[in-house]
Chains A and B, each alone.
Chain A
């Protein structure tokens, strides 16, 4: 009797809690549809160091609180933002910029040339992700014009001008990164570290006024963001391909094309040397060009896109697919096992002891491919490539490591890296012999004098068309280059599509091809975001 009673109570409790739960979620639904000028989004992108552009904020996507001197339109043409016009001297060493005169910081003070000078000097002193080592001096000519002088000509300097947000000199202090003030489309309200960022539209913004009055950025994990989108609690959620399998009522799945690529970096030199820190450099197997070319040829990139990314992506053939400085000749015919086998045989790799793995002069075709252990896409790519390559007789062992470990291993082991920027400077950093062993850039110690020469010429050029022509030649000039047709220091695999669940009636504006970094770059058009009904 008593047992029965307790069962009844239990059943009643379950029903009650279910009713409560459904009641809660329907409340959340009605809340998000009612307020048309407020948004809650979960697109990650929380900076470790706060919102100070001089230490790296705004590298990916818009700095939203600050504004930049130049910006890109959706076709990646450079256009003005704070500038009214700019000019480059003939030798490419001096940039003269004139500023608009109607720009105010959110504290009411005007933005003048001295703020720009201050920003660039602070950023140069901080030696952040914005590389300003080439900047010789920056000078205010009057209140609204600035002169930048470079040490060497650098045709990509406009990219820096388009990325570095201007900070106010009068309001800059140690805790600026925690409470930023700027002149961007949105102003800072509140930041709860690890939880949320709240911003409000800047009523004094000089550009087109943003439609959405208030935006709350929730910092959720991938799964939590997905769950929140499903529950109707957020209007925009970034989502990884493996989760983007289902339709969510009231939401559309939006895929933005990107140059956010993933590829395998091969150590280019033979083993033997060590870095200053004592980490090994070079790898005897991957330094053999036959190995690198065969892998490039054998990989089935379409299968990777369909298998690992659920079709949300595109095959990648270079670091800058479809950008203005990309050389389309670098698209190669892949998934060609026979061709790859021939390259290996011609290169002297033979399976002499019949164990399924090739040898050359007693050296087994075996190397380690490292991926960052928290990244499920790179993990899947590494495993899939290893399995695709095995029939060739090349044994790729995969290993998941932390970024700290990868820093020590990246000169001697192959690594699954991801790049992709709106700036040919990235290409320069990755493949120039000057950058051998510098940060994550040319980690494989690639060098080719001819490539160096083309890229230096591109840098020295003061005309975009000419510069792009040299960038293309550096990739492949018919005989050599850093693409898979030439020296193949990388095997590029895929370009990711950046996926978002977006409320049906929300318009996110016209996005340009996204750069590396999934989530925050969508804020690039933040001032255009609006509800359609």
Chain B
């Protein structure tokens, strides 16, 4: 008996350690993802500017313990530059996705509730923006606003709403035909009351998941537009700028200039993607209880 118990407990113990339930593991993924991103932003504020000043005595160094990502042709520490660039990207991404989500929420609800004309107009707008190649629209806006950080931020912020608008519009259309909304309407509740009391709570999950899933898009677009030379000054530590600069030095064998910043960008984008997917798992009524 004793032996049996012992065996049982042996069997159970490793189980307890390794296996979280689905909900827990989702939560852990989300939290560790968020922790990494906050760490990047915090680090960029804590790191002094000293490391990204010119240090002629430490030029073109390959990665070492002193300079994790090596140094560039002016002796600037690539690790610091990358972290600062990433945090700029995350900042722009945050702003852009917030703006996009709010725009999408307003337009999507307006399209679905304010009658046919408004719906046609907004659907047309969505079609126009989705028909235009995204990068072209971005470049147009950034250029029209006079290139610079402002142009990039506004450009990225103003071009990511159409997809989400469409989803929200469809969701609202579906909700409107549901029974509880019909009942409310027949009982004489105002449109706004219905929108706030019935529709919004159902849209919140879409809102948050949309917010997080827009992040990687916004970051990649920010990086590509700065890579193409629209937007920020070439000395600012934006990830696209760093990548496009380092292209010039690949042919002389300074691979670390492009490799580590590129890898970091990839990791950050992937982390956001993972956080978004897991958030959806938790929020989505169909999968929330798995």
Q: Which residues of A contact B (CB under 8 A)?
A: 222-223, 226-227, 230, 242-243, 245-246, 303, 306-308, 373-374, 376, 379-380, 382-384, 387-388, 398-402
Given the interface pairs A242-B73, A373-B229, A398-B235, the reply to whether A306 lies near B56 with Cβ below 8 Å is yes
**How close is B60's CB to chain A, nearest CB, in angstroms?**
8
Interface of B is mostly: loop
Residue in B closest to A226 when the chains form the complex, CB atoms: B251
Contacts of B147 in A (CB 8 A): 402
A230 — which chain B residues lie within 8 A by C-beta? 251
**CA A222 to CA B249, docked complex, whole Å:** 11
Q: Is the CB of B252 within 8 A of A307?
A: no
Closest Cβ of chain A: how far from B257's Cβ, in Å? 11
Flag B232-271 by CB within 8 Å of A: 1 or 0 each.
0111000000000101111111000000000000000000
CB distance from B146 to the nearest CB of A (A): 8
A387 touches B248 (CB 8 A): no
Number of A-B contacts defined by CB within 8 Å? 58
A222-B248, A376-B245 given. 14 additional CB < 8 A pairs? A223-B247, A223-B248, A242-B73, A242-B249, A243-B248, A307-B56, A374-B229, A379-B234, A383-B54, A383-B235, A399-B233, A400-B233, A400-B234, A400-B235
- How distant is the Cα of A306 from the Cα of B234 in the complex, in angstroms? 22
User: Using Cβ atoms and an 8 Å threshold, which residues of chain B touch A243?
Assistant: 248-249, 251-252
Bound CA span A69–B56, Å: 47
Q: How far is the CA of A387 from the CA of B75 in the complex (A)?
A: 12
Given contacts A242-B73, A380-B74, contact A227 B251 (CB under 8 A): yes
Listed in ascending order, the chain B residues whose CB lies under 8 Å from chain A are 53-54, 56, 59-60, 73-75, 147, 229, 233-235, 245, 247-253
A530 CA to B147 CA in the complex, in Å?
48
Q: Which residue of B lies closest to A306 (CB)?
A: B56
Chain A nearest CB from B75 CB (Å) reads 8
Complex CA gap A407/B205 in Å reads 51
In the assembled complex, 5 residue pairs joining A and B whose CB atoms fall closer than 8 Å, in A order, are A226-B252, A242-B252, A308-B74, A383-B54, A383-B74
A146 shortest CB reach to chain B, Å: 48
Q: How far is the CB of A493 from chain B (nearest CB, A)?
A: 14
**Assuming the A-B contacts A223-B247, A226-B251, A376-B248, are A303 and B234 also in contact, with contact meaning beta carbons closer than 8 angstroms in the complex?**
no
Return chain B residues, CB-CB under 8 Å to A245: 60, 252
CA distance A379 to B53 in the complex (A): 13
Beta-carbon contact of B251 and A384 below 8 Å:
no
Given contacts A306-B56, A373-B229, A399-B233, contact A384 B74 (CB under 8 A): yes
> Which residues does chain A contribute within 8 Å of B229, judged by CB atoms?
373-374
Whether A373 contacts B233 by the Cβ 8 Å rule is yes
Chain A residues within an 8 Å CB radius of B248: 222-223, 242-243, 376
With a CB–CB cut-off of 8 A, which chain B residues contact A398? 233, 235
Instruction: Give me the 9 closest cross-chain CB pairs, A-B, nearest first.
Output: A307-B56, A400-B233, A400-B234, A384-B54, A387-B53, A387-B54, A373-B234, A223-B251, A242-B73
Q: How far is the CA of A227 from the CA of B253 in the complex (A)?
A: 12
Smallest CB gap from B241: residue in A? A400
Contacts of B53 in A (CB 8 A): 387
Nearest B residue (CB) for A380: B74
Complex-state Cα separation, A245 to B235, whole angstroms: 22
Give CA–CA (A362, B109) in the complex, Å: 53
A287, chain B: closest CB distance, angstroms? 25
Docked pose: A223 CA to B250 CA in angstroms? 9
For A385, give the chain B residue with the smallest CB separation. B54
CB-CB under 8 A from B249, the residues of chain A are: 242-243
Tell me how far the C-beta of B72 lies from the nearest C-beta in chain A, rounded to whole angstroms.
Answer: 10
